[in-house]
Structure 1
């Protein structure tokens, strides 16, 4: 049992565990809609679209989270604007903005060699360096995401499963789509500087996808995703501690692995039935 408990006796590992649990619950709220609506590409694009805002803010000595928020907001507004064009599919608009903003970020980064370490932190984060104020920030974002999810649940559900009915019921699918984009953006911006964009994207997609194999009701999928993400965080930190691997990458690998184990179990149970 010491193999299981020893790592969590260390304060920074406990902090990382709490951060991962909060991120898991936040990503479950946003990621469920990402998976249900087939918006994984958008989640990845928003994660990487933060780069120009992060780079410019760091270059000018400003607030990196604020720069990331501006960049993410620009991405969300751009996706919404291009999505209104009848000649462009949503994926095309996302792809154009993704490539353009990523290229802009790399151009800014290339002007300063000092960004090398910062860029690594942007991609992979350092969940073991979480501070108390980081936990408060993620907690506040989680509370806001829970409020948006509660108020927008009916509109989000109608938009996901029957957009025409949403319009007929006066649920304003355009506004609901914008609010959903805002929810995804909130999750990414609130968490990237703590755990990196790779871990945010992994928890945004893998746990909800695993939970969706077993649950059909949206709240059940969200709860299952939060629990799977939290378990992946604990297991990833444990493996990282004992095998000396990168904590964020290990948590992401465990979360993705949980999906494949879940899919295999579902197939076996389905075949046996």
Structure 2
């Protein structure tokens, strides 16, 4: 019902309603500078306000002992399990053992949270990429906040940067379907495009002895949108092998919400870190 309610924003994003909150800053962050009056659904506006609150207050990430500030349309690191997997998986040795210097790529960096975790784990240089200009701005802001500009270089838009790395990390959107709004772009990956691009391009960007870490929920499997066999076939077709897999159960409240229509799938969900290497 809320999605059917439409509100009119003035040419300065002001809501001309009695007792209406001031949404101008939130709308500016989501839509850019105002130019003309615009109509949006109430559901959309509530999402914009929520995104502004997250951006202002930040989300505490225990693995960093710090807060990360997501922008509108950038996936928020509220699910600690995927961050914890990257914080605890064994690191591959550096290609140049004499120098002892590790290089990592973080593909689809979003807020930059995984790049920051890798830096805190001692990775010497991380190149973080994203196809979204919003995400690139968000990651750069968080890298500055965390005082990691000397270790993390945010580049894009694109998926793979130039060169090779000892470790390539990718946490693609989990659901192979098309998003209906900017707020869903961190969850939906139409046709598994980003997942497949990561797998097919990984070997060409790994140093000898390097690893690719695919961090992926199996929610799509429980919803019948992708099978485990299809994922394994994609890994094999890309000339990769599975070194190991680490799993984490969901800890977010929706996994325990029995009124959620997707409760059965969410309760069975696991997030996995697949350690991949060239065959």
Structure with higher Rg: it is: 2
TM-score by shorter chain over 0.5: no
Higher helix fraction: Structure 1 or Structure 2?
1
TM-score normalised to structure 2 length: 0.25
RCO greater where, 1 or 2, for CA within 8 Å and sep 6 or more?
1
TM-score normalised to structure 1 length: 0.25
